[in-house]
Amino acid sequence: MTRFTVSCALLLAGLAFQAQAAPCLRVDDHPVTLHGMVVIQTFYGPPGYGETPKTDRRETQGLLKLDAPVCIGVSDADGVVTETQQSMVTMVPPAKVSLKHYRGKKVTASGSLFQAVTGHHHTDVLIDVEHIDVAKQKGIEGIL
C-alpha cells in the first residue's frame, strides 16, 4: 500500500471511532446516571487545606470511581466549555443517606452534575445524588 492509502485508511478509522463515541455530558444535563464503585476518602480541610496538616480539619467524602472515564463538559468563568475525561466524581448524597454503607460497592447513581466551586470540592465535577442503587451482581446469584 502507498503511504497515501494508509493515511486515508487511518483517517477513516479515526472518524468512525469518533462517530461511535458517546457525546459528552454537560453539567446542566439532568438527570444523569453514572456507574462505578464508592470510595470513602478523607481530605485536609480548613484552614489550610493541607498546608498546615496539624491544624487542618479533616473532611471525609464519598467519591464515585467510575467504571470507565466519562466525557463531561465544564464551563470556565467566561462560559467557555471544556470537555474533560473524568474518572472520579464527588458524591453529594441526600441529607439522610450515608455513603459509608456503600463503601467498596458497585453502584448506579442518578442526579445532577455540577462543577467544583469551593476548596471543599476535591474533584472537578460533583453529582448531587437523587437516587443510588447497589449494582446487581452478574454470575451465579443471577441464576438462583
Position 12 in a domain = no
> Residue 87 sits in which domain range?
22-143
Position 17 in a domain = no
Position 5 in a domain = no
* pLDDT beyond 60 at 128: yes
Report percent pLDDT > 70 for the chain. 79
Instruction: Name the band, by pLDDT with cuts 50, 70 and 90, for residue 137.
Output: low
* pLDDT beyond 60 at 15: no
Report percent pLDDT > 90 for the chain. 57
Position 35 in a domain = yes
Whole-number pLDDT of residue 19: 39
Q: Which three cell numbers stand for residue 134?
A: 447497589
Q: Which residues pair with 82 in a beta bridge?
A: 74
Whether the model pTM is above 0.85: no
* pLDDT beyond 90 at 66: yes
Rounded CA-CA distance 93/105 in Å is: 15
Higher-confidence position of 66 and 3: 66
CB count within 10 Å of CB 96 equals 5
Position 89 in a domain = yes
Whole-number pLDDT of residue 16: 42
CATH code for the domain of 102: 2.40.50
Position 44 in a domain = yes
